[in-house]
Structure 1
Amino acid sequence: MESEMNDKVSNASLVGEYHSDSPIMCSGFGQFNYLAFNAKEKKCRVHTCYPAGCGYEWLEYNGHCYFFGATELTWTEARMACGDRSSQLVELEDIEESTWLASTFLYKDTCPTFIYYGCSAWTGGNDIWAEGDYRWHHSNLSMEFKNWNPDQPSVHHDNEEEDCIAILRNGKWNDQGCNERNSFICEKKKC
């Protein structure tokens, strides 16, 4: 089984390895990495993606795995909840991904009429460090693709900075105060 699992994980995703006499010392996941034990070589191999399937409560789309956290958390709490799942808050790459996430996780008949209330989720996007310089938290990359709702991004609401990005049920984005509570979407790459 261990050698089978190693065979399923691409060497392209390999980011490191270390000696280990036991698979117990090399089981499970590290933060944002998959750990696989190679019994023959007595090595623990660290990979950047998940080898087979997405796992319970995760959905696959276009080579990535997504988890919807219905519990409403602050942006920082949501980021940590994703880290606990060996993933990160979602980083949106294109309109197709944004639309798929909204239609899959957010659009419900029970959504309030006003677009900014309910039926939205935290993403990894933010401008915490420099106003207007929106970046993805995990990769620290500047956003190439943007999908703002009309009149967004805004700077303040009720005297609170709006530095964290939520995806709305229409697939568009809204910047919100990072201490507001929201559902969240985690992402991990599938090999």
Structure 2
Amino acid sequence: MTNFWILTVVSSLCVVTAQANRCPPTDDDRWKEFRDSCYFFSERSTTWRSAKESCSENGSHLVDILSWEENEWIHQRLNSYRYYEDYYIGATDQQHEGLFIWTNSGDALEYGNWNDGEPNQHLGTPENCAEIDTRSGRWNDIPCDIVMRFICKRPITRK
């Protein structure tokens, strides 16, 4: 009976250990887990195109935000960092003006958390990329050549 309990405890610890690190390991622990995905919050600022390439290089994509719960989790995470600049997300209307899609899937946005009056092509300036406001969690369309931080997303690695 004692061997059974030891085996049960050891098995449980192995499961907890295996589940604890399902996102890519980094020295600074910038990959965070939420539900079935891992999220990387950059500390480096770049253009939207370079952000998309950076995400792709590490096996991920610019974040697609598919629900209010996911948006709220990201918003809370950004607030915990106390960064007061906005972050690129993976929505764009570069292919068809006014039709925002997620770059990883090509799907039109089913969920959106746009600021009032957005997206809007402010002052006629091409605003074909999207950002999330760290303070409000709301989205805004912006020019793609603005330099800012970004969020990557990838599925959890199952072992």
TM-score band, normalised by shorter chain:
0.7 to 0.9
Give CA-to-partner distance per residue, 1:150-176, whole Å, 9 cap, x none: 12111134x530010111111110000
| CA distance in structure 1 between the aligned counterparts of 2:150 and 2:83, rounded to whole angstroms | 18
| CA distance in structure 2 between the aligned counterparts of 1:79 and 1:63, rounded to whole angstroms | 21
- 1:10-25 matches, cutoff 5 A: none
| CA distance in structure 1 between the aligned counterparts of 2:83 and 2:42, rounded to whole angstroms | 17
The corresponding residue for 2:56 is 83
The corresponding residue for 2:133 is 168
- If asked which structure has higher relative contact order (CA below 8 Å, sep 6+), I would say 2
The corresponding residue for 1:187 is 153
Tell me the CA shift for residue 84 of structure 1.
1.2
Task: State whether structure 2 residue 89 is matched by structure 1 residue 123.
Answer: yes
Question: Kindly tell me: are residues 81 and 110 of structure 1, through their superposed partners in 2, closer, same or farther at Cα, counting changes over 3 Å?
Answer: closer
Tell me the CA shift for residue 148 of structure 1.
0.3
| CA distance in structure 2 between the aligned counterparts of 1:125 and 1:85, rounded to whole angstroms | 19
Q: Determine helix, strand or coil for the equivalent of 2:40.
A: strand
- 1:60-75 matches, cutoff 5 A: 60-75=33-48
2:23 to 34, 40, 54: 54
Q: TM-score, with normalisation over the residues of structure 1?
A: 0.65
Q: TM-score, with normalisation over the residues of structure 2?
A: 0.77
Tell me the CA shift for residue 70 of structure 1.
1.6
- 1:5-44 matches, cutoff 5 A: none
- Contact 1:106–1:168 (Cα < 8 Å) also in 2: no
Q: Determine helix, strand or coil for the equivalent of 2:53.
A: helix
Tell me the CA shift for residue 136 of structure 1.
0.3
> Where does the alignment leave 5 or more consecutive residues of structure 2 unmatched?
1-20
Q: Determine helix, strand or coil for the equivalent of 2:45.
A: strand
Tell me the CA shift for residue 102 of structure 1.
1.5
| CA distance in structure 2 between the aligned counterparts of 1:126 and 1:94, rounded to whole angstroms | 17
Q: Determine helix, strand or coil for the equivalent of 1:129.
A: coil
The corresponding residue for 2:14 is none
The corresponding residue for 1:105 is 78
Question: Kindly tell me: are residues 106 and 180 of structure 1, through their superposed partners in 2, closer, same or farther at Cα, counting changes over 3 Å?
Answer: farther
What's the C-alpha RMSD, in Å, of the aligned pairs?
Answer: 1.9
| CA distance in structure 2 between the aligned counterparts of 1:83 and 1:167, rounded to whole angstroms | 20
Question: Kindly tell me: are residues 185 and 133 of structure 1, through their superposed partners in 2, closer, same or farther at Cα, counting changes over 3 Å?
Answer: same
Task: State whether structure 2 residue 65 is matched by structure 1 residue 92.
Answer: yes
| CA distance in structure 2 between the aligned counterparts of 1:59 and 1:179, rounded to whole angstroms | 27
Identical amino acids, percent of aligned pairs: 30
- Contact 1:152–1:174 (Cα < 8 Å) also in 2: yes
Runs of 4+ in 1 over 4 A off after TM superposition: 106-110
> Where does the alignment leave 5 or more consecutive residues of structure 1 unmatched?
1-51, 112-118
